[in-house]
Amino acid sequence: MTKFREIAQPMRMIATIALIVLISAGCVIILLAAGPAHAVRAAEEDAAPPAPLPLHLHDTGLYRADGKGDDLYAEVMTFTPQYTLWSDGALKRRWLRLPAGSAVDASDPDVWRFPRGTRLWKEFSHNGRKVETRFIERLANGDWRYAAYIWSEDGRNAVLAPDSGVKALPVAQAPGGVYDIPARADCRACHEGAAVPVLGASALQLSPARDELAVHGQLPSSDDADLRRLVERGALRGLPAALLDRPPQIAAASPTERAALGYLHANCGHCHNDSEGRAPVRLRLAQSAVDPQASRERALASMLQMPSRFRPAAAFDPAVVVAPGAMHRSVLGLRMASRDAQEQMPPLGTRVPDAEGLALIQRWIDNDLPTRKEP
Amino acid sequence: MTSPMEPIAPIALKARRHRPAAAWVLMTVLASSGVDALAQAAQSGVSSDLVARGKYLVSTSGCHDCHTPWKMGAKGPEPDMSRALSGHPESLKMPAPPRLPEGPWLVMTAATNTAFAGPWGVSFTANLTPEPETGLGEWTLRNFVDTIRTGRHLGRGREVLPPMPILVYNNFTDSDLEAIYRYLRTMPPIRNRVPEPLAPGALQAANK
């Protein structure tokens, strides 16, 4: 019996070890089977075409109910960039909604990474009439998609605009009585020239250290999301603490220069920057929250006395982007003031030159640049 | 016969009579230049198959029709392959286009087939060679694809103007467009600053 036990005990041990090995192997097999299957399912979800764009704005996740709007979902945050894109004087309101439990990764403060499922809206109105709300969404596969919704005259409902947009939509309240709804390709042309397609929500644009001279600057409402509020709310992670202690500002030799560089950042920087999708010219007008001095120097070096690739029909000799002291000889000023479709800058989204923006740039070029002292 | 440097009044279709002969010349020249493009591709590490496909697409999709200036040869207009894909010649200053009478004629084209006048104004074909200042030298693949996809100059700017068949070329796949881009990078760079397009009536106003 003892001998049997002596034999049986190692046998049991061997059997136990074998069982553990078998179970472990089984688990591995199960894991191997489940892992790739899960990965395949996830990949299929990523690869699956997204649901079509909703036909009505109220189905995009902004408003809690159909009707007059402004009954927003609790997750929706309003924000107001300090430097605004000129849109022919339209009043604009902007909203951001992140998927539950997610946050924007701001570990690179100049290139925010928005989680999949992020949605943003921008509403355009003229003289009290809502005309259009634009919608951007980050899809499950990481791509972004764009849409525009056109408001009914009574402001009760907004319907998806066609892919090709609408040229010269009659809107009595807009300048000239017409308004252009952008084509989706136009949305891509502007938004995908930057490192991140979200242009108005960034460390610099939402800095609490707002530029008081910013042209068309809208004061943020009391519950607007700025850098601090986004962090407090858990909606922004990874932002270097230094940027909260000392909120980002554009480096400049004077307040006028700061406002001018901010204007160019918001109106031109989404195409003229350092990202892969930038327009292939040498202008660099995007400003950095991380290294403002370097981005200022890059911007100035790309403008001041720099030959312009665009050669105006008018006599400009030499054709330089910015001639310090001479707005009238600066291609930048000429193109900002033009609304000839082949010449104007920005090239889309506006039919009327920005008189205040031009006045600011003229003050900077004619008065500040010739006498500027380095900051 | 019209001088090659004079605009041909409403001729858009007239010159097409010579196209079979011109196309033969074009294909012969392209065939002889193909070896260089493939050798350059091999040196740059780009797949020679991709470049060869790009060459095929450029040769069969009409790119030379407008982006290579035409000259008058013994058998009629033919592409000047010494300026292949360099766009409207900088040296060819175009006078104001003649006014067309009311009727179905809509478009006028220069003898070089690189400048076009129509309801959109006057457009000049772009320099597609990889020259950095005046051609596509600074363009990335993404800029090239974006231009075709958005129909906007440099992928971001003003609308690309007629007669560029953007809607047709939008049917190219991304890999087709990459092949074309890679092939264009192998072309000899030609410095040629193409004029900016003109709004309707701008040339007439400038010449008054």
Confidence label for A48 from pLDDT (cuts 50, 70 and 90) = confident
Which residue in A286, A300, A291, A274 sits closest to A374, CA to CA?
A300
For B160, name the nearest residue in chain A, comparing CA atoms only: A342
Please tell me the distance from the alpha carbon of residue A330 to that of residue A264, in angstroms, as a whole number: 14
CB–CB of A342 and B154 under 8 A? no
CB–CB of B198 and A313 under 8 A? yes
Predicted ipTM > 0.85: no
Please tell me the distance from the alpha carbon of residue A289 to that of residue B188, in angstroms, as a whole number: 41
pLDDT in tens, A206-236: 999 999 999 998 888 888 999 999 999 999 9
Please tell me the distance from the alpha carbon of residue A318 to that of residue A313, in angstroms, as a whole number: 12
Chains A and B form CB pairs within 8 A to the count of: 74
Q: pTM for the complete prediction?
A: 0.83
Please tell me the distance from the alpha carbon of residue A237 to that of residue A360, in angstroms, as a whole number: 35
Q: What is the residue type of B118?
A: G
Name A205's Cβ contacts closer than 8 Å, sequence gap at least 6. Answer: A81, A82, A83, A199, A266
* Whether pLDDT at B47 is above 80: yes
Which residue in A339, A340, A329 sits closest to A362, CA to CA?
A329
**Cβ–Cβ < 8 Å for A130, A122:** no
* Whether pLDDT at A63 is above 80: yes
Two structure tokens written together for A15: 């059997």
Peptide bond into B77 cis (omega under 30): no
Report CA torsion sign: A164, A170, A173, A174: positive
CB–CB of A347 and B152 under 8 A? yes
Write down the mean pLDDT value for chain B: 83
Task: Indicate the helix (H) or strand (E) that contains B140.
Answer: none
* Whether pLDDT at B204 is above 80: no
CA end-to-end span of chain B: 28
What residues in chain B have their Cβ under 8 A from chain A's Cβ atoms? 121, 133, 136, 138-140, 142-143, 146, 149-159, 161, 193, 195-199, 202, 206
As a whole number, mean pLDDT of residues A307-334 equals 89
Task: Indicate the helix (H) or strand (E) that contains A137.
Answer: strand A129-138
Confidence label for B11 from pLDDT (cuts 50, 70 and 90) = very low
Strand-strand pairing, A144-151 and A129-138: antiparallel
**Cβ–Cβ < 8 Å for A250, A265:** yes
CB–CB of B196 and A342 under 8 A? yes
What is the least distance, in Å, from the CA of A105 to any CA of chain B? 25
pLDDT in tens, B109-131: 999 999 999 999 999 999 999 99
Angle (nearest 5°) at CA A343 between A337 and A348: 85
CB–CB of A343 and B199 under 8 A? yes
Please tell me the distance from the alpha carbon of residue A215 to that of residue A83, in angstroms, as a whole number: 7
CB–CB of B142 and A279 under 8 A? no
Which site among B146, B156, B170, B194 would you substitute to test the A interface, given the most A Cβ atoms closer than 10 Å to its Cβ? B156
H-only helix segments in B45-150: 48-60, 63-67, 141-150
A68-72, A99-103, B42-46: which has the minimum mean pLDDT? B42-46
Confidence label for A329 from pLDDT (cuts 50, 70 and 90) = very high
pLDDT in tens, A175-187: 999 999 999 999 9
CB–CB of B158 and A341 under 8 A? yes
CA distances from A371 to A95, A305, A331, A367 (A): 41, 15, 21, 7
* Whether pLDDT at B21 is above 50: no
pLDDT in tens, B180-201: 999 999 999 999 999 999 988 7
**Cβ–Cβ < 8 Å for A258, A250:** yes
pLDDT of residue A218: 84
Tell which wins on pLDDT, A233 or A37. Answer: A233
